[in-house]
């Protein structure tokens, strides 16, 4: 068939059609503002703005960036805690077709320098409290970054060479939308993974991936325009940013932005703002349950709870169901490369399939395969792979890793899992977290689930350390509940009742807390380093 059968139009007409059909990330807020101009969009500190006001602020910021020479396709690095300005920059960059590079605020200057250099960022915005680190990172990377924005969250005066972002947002700029054509597959996000490799990878996400993922969240996650949601987990991370905040903007729901997941602040905000919806990783749900204000706070408005980023201990899920009986819970499983959603465990499945990651979401197809990419039978362990429009366009500047990740036409997650005949997925472990001890494989999560059943355990992390005899030794770091008395003998006795000998911890260590990243994930690599010499000391 001739190539031009379905292309009978002039280039000018094709361009006009493409513009009329545009449906990019930057369009979502504008269309919501046209539907619900006077509806409350964002609450951030003392600021309360409607969707019309939010849209106008985004346009002014976009025009300001454009006027300073930030052009379509260029990269803008954003280093900040959650804020109103963060929300505006997310959509202002998308309006211009500028690629946003959100940066983990826990990173040091050298780590940030790598991201700046690798991404080729020509603009940078930083929160005032992080400005010293940002400046040092720019110097290490040798990046000019002629456009430098300053978010004044702590009230620190703007340093020389930086410009107050509020002047971009609240100034006299044009409140009309900039006329920029952004294609479905134009990258708008460059998300750097927090993985265990020596250098993070830059995950490229376009509107096509993000919006397909939003639709899956809405349909399978029970999301609606009347939701009032608190966003306290870091917005630099795709879970809070793209499973929840951007979806709320798309729908026209109200977003309450907090700088972080402080339990007391979260509880008070739910009561004050009558929040109906909350996402937290298991570690933060646990901190809420253990807070002394939990039972005295009016949480009656809360109707929807979401968890992800790590496996929810079954014991904690059961406790949440008892203490928040009117809240429906969803488990979201995925990763940055999937924008980030892959599978969902829905409310009616929570207790019957406790511990499961659920089934593939609306726009995703999920399998479990062997090392040759062949699907394994139900009940057998294999690598979890996906096909979905959610998937990344690849790793920026890395053909080799991209080719490996998409081998066989499926995205390879690096997670090990088991699937039932009905398609329910259980994540066994990350490949890197599988402990190989004495010739046997031990899933750290299985051991953790067992130890959570011991009364007095608040949190636990299980990992392997080098051992001269066992090759790797199963090691558990346990955080006792406040007021509880735990001993190594008690933990060992409990494990003996529930686990095969090779699965039981060879070492049990007590700690006041576990190291976590801002997304709530336990940093096992830090625990491995801290306790690497346990066998030697023995």
pLDDT of residue 315: 86
pLDDT of residue 439: 61
How far CA 96 is from CA of 62, 265, 343, in Å, comes to 6, 35, 32
For residues 76 and 92, what is the distance between their CA atoms, to the nearest angstrom? 11
Q: Does residue 422 lie in a domain region? A: no
pLDDT in tens, 11-69: 999 999 999 999 999 999 999 999 999 999 999 999 999 999 999 999 999 999 999 99
Residues 447 and 351 in one domain: no
**Which residue range is the domain that position 354 belongs to?**
18-365
Over range 448-466, report the average pLDDT: 91
Q: Does residue 166 lie in a domain region? A: yes
Higher pLDDT, 431 or 37: 37
Band of the pLDDT at 216, cuts 50, 70, 90? Answer: very high
Band of the pLDDT at 431, cuts 50, 70, 90? Answer: low
For residues 329 and 307, what is the distance between their CA atoms, to the nearest angstrom? 8
Q: Which of 365, 380, 403 is the last residue of a domain?
A: 365
How many domains, the chain? 2
Q: Which of 3-7, 101-105, 533-537 has the highest mean pLDDT?
A: 101-105
For residues 534 and 538, what is the distance between their CA atoms, to the nearest angstrom? 6
Residues 492 and 361 in one domain: no
pLDDT of residue 432: 67
HSE-up (13 A, CA, CB side) for residue 289: 20
Over range 346-367, report the average pLDDT: 95
Residues 6+ apart with CB under 8 A from 5: none
Q: Does residue 220 lie in a domain region? A: yes
Q: Does residue 393 lie in a domain region? A: no
Q: Which of 365, 397, 430 is the last residue of a domain?
A: 365
pLDDT of residue 197: 42
Q: Residues 25, 188: contact at Cβ < 8 Å? A: yes
Q: Is the confidence at residue 4, as pLDDT, over 70? A: no
Q: Is the confidence at residue 2, as pLDDT, over 60? A: no
Q: Does residue 12 lie in a domain region? A: no
Residues 6+ apart with CB under 8 A from 204: 187, 189, 190, 392, 393, 394, 395, 396
The two three-digit tokens of residue 71, written as one number: 């052009």
List for the chain the helix, strand, coil content (%; round to 5).
35, 25, 40
Residues 361 and 482 in one domain: no
Give which of 339, 393, 35, 351 is closest to 217, Cα–Cα. 339
pLDDT of residue 502: 80
Residues 6+ apart with CB under 8 A from 255: 41, 42, 43, 87, 229, 231, 245, 248, 249
Residues 327 and 466 in one domain: no
Residues 6+ apart with CB under 8 A from 278: 229, 230, 266, 270, 302, 304, 305, 306
Residues 231 and 121 in one domain: yes
Higher pLDDT, 167 or 497: 167
Residues 359 and 446 in one domain: no
Q: Does residue 472 lie in a domain region? A: yes
Residues 75 and 185 in one domain: yes
Q: Does residue 451 lie in a domain region? A: yes
Over range 512-534, report the average pLDDT: 86
Among 170-179, 293-302, 307-316, which stretch is predicted with the lowest mean pLDDT? 307-316
pTM score, two decimals?
Answer: 0.84
Question: Which CATH number is 275's domain given?
Answer: 3.40.50.12780
For residues 79 and 132, what is the distance between their CA atoms, to the nearest angstrom? 11
Residues 211 and 87 in one domain: yes
- Rounded to the nearest 5 degrees, what angle is found at the Cα of 468, between the Cα atoms of 463 and 471? 45
Question: Which CATH number is 456's domain given?
Answer: 3.30.300.30
Residues 6+ apart with CB under 8 A from 162: 126, 131, 148, 149, 150
pLDDT of residue 470: 78
Residues 239 and 93 in one domain: yes
Q: Provide, rounded to the nearest whole percent, the portion of the chain with pLDDT above 90.
A: 79
Residues 483 and 345 in one domain: no
Q: Does residue 180 lie in a domain region? A: yes
Residues 41 and 184 in one domain: yes
The two three-digit tokens of residue 130, written as one number: 């992080």
pLDDT in tens, 231-279: 999 999 999 999 999 999 999 999 999 999 999 999 999 999 999 999 9
* DSSP alpha helix (H) spans, 21-72: 25-35, 51-67
Q: Which of 365, 391, 406 is the last residue of a domain?
A: 365
Residues 353 and 485 in one domain: no
Residues in the chain: 538
């Amino acid at each position: 068939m001739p190539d031009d059968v379905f292309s009978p139009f002039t280039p000018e007409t094709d361009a006009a059609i493409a513009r009329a059909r545009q449906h990019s990330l930057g369009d979502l807020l504008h269309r919501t503002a046209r539907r619900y101009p006077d509806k409350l969009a964002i609450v951030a500190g003392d600021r309360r703005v409607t969707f019309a006001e939010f849209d106008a602020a985004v346009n002014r910021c976009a025009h300001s960036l454009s006027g300073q020479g930030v052009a379509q396709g260029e990269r803008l690095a954003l280093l900040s805690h959650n804020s109103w300005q963060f929300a505006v920059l997310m959509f202002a960059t998308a309006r211009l077709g500028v690629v946003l590079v959100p940066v983990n605020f826990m990173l040091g200057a050298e780590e940030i320098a790598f991201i700046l250099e690798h991404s080729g960022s020509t603009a940078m915005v930083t929160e005032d409290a992080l400005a010293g680190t940002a400046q040092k990172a720019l110097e290490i990377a040798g990046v000019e970054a002629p456009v430098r924005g300053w978010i004044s969250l702590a009230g620190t005066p703007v340093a020389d060479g930086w410009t107050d972002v509020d002047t971009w947002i609240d100034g006299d700029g044009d409140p009309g939308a900039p006329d920029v054509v952004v294609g479905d597959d134009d990258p708008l996000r460059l998300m750097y993974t927090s993985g265990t490799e020596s250098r993070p990878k830059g995950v490229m996400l376009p509107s096509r991936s993000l919006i397909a993922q939003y639709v899956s969240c809405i349909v399978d996650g029970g999301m609606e325009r009347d939701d009032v949601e608190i966003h306290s987990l870091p917005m630099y991370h795709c879970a809070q940013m793209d499973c929840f905040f951007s979806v709320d903007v798309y729908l026209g729901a109200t977003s309450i932005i907090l700088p972080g997941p402080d339990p007391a602040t979260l509880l008070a905000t739910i009561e004050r703002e009558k929040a109906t919806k909350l996402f937290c990783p298991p570690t933060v749900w646990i901190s809420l349950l253990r807070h002394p204000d939990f039972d005295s706070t009016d949480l009656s408005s809360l109707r929807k709870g979401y968890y992800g980023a790590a496996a929810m201990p079954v014991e904690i899920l059961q406790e949440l169901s008892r203490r928040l009986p009117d809240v429906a819970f969803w488990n979201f499983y995925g990763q940055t490369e999937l924008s980030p959603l892959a599978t969902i465990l829905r409310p009616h499945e929570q207790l019957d399939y406790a511990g499961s990651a659920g089934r593939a979401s609306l726009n995703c197809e999920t399998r479990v395969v062997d090392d040759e990419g062949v699907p394994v039978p139900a009940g057998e362990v294999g690598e979890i792979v996906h096909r979905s429009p959610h998937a990344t366009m690849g790793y920026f500047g890395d053909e080799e890793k991209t080719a490996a990740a998409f081998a066989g036409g499926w995205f390879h997650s690096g997670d090990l899992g088991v699937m039932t005949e009905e398609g329910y997925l259980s994540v066994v472990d990350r490949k890197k977290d599988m402990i190989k001890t004495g010739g046997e494989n031990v899933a750290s999560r299985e051991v953790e689930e067992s130890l959570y059943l011991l009364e007095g355990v608040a949190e636990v992390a299980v990992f392997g350390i080098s051992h001269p005899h066992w090759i790797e030794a199963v090691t558990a770091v346990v955080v006792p509940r406040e007021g509880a008395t735990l001993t190594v003998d008690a933990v060992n006795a409990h494990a003996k009742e529930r686990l095969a000998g090779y699965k039981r911890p060879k070492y049990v260590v007590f700690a006041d807390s576990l190291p976590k990243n801002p997304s709530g994930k336990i940093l096992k690599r830090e625990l491995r380093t801290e306790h690497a010499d346990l066998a030697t000391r023995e």
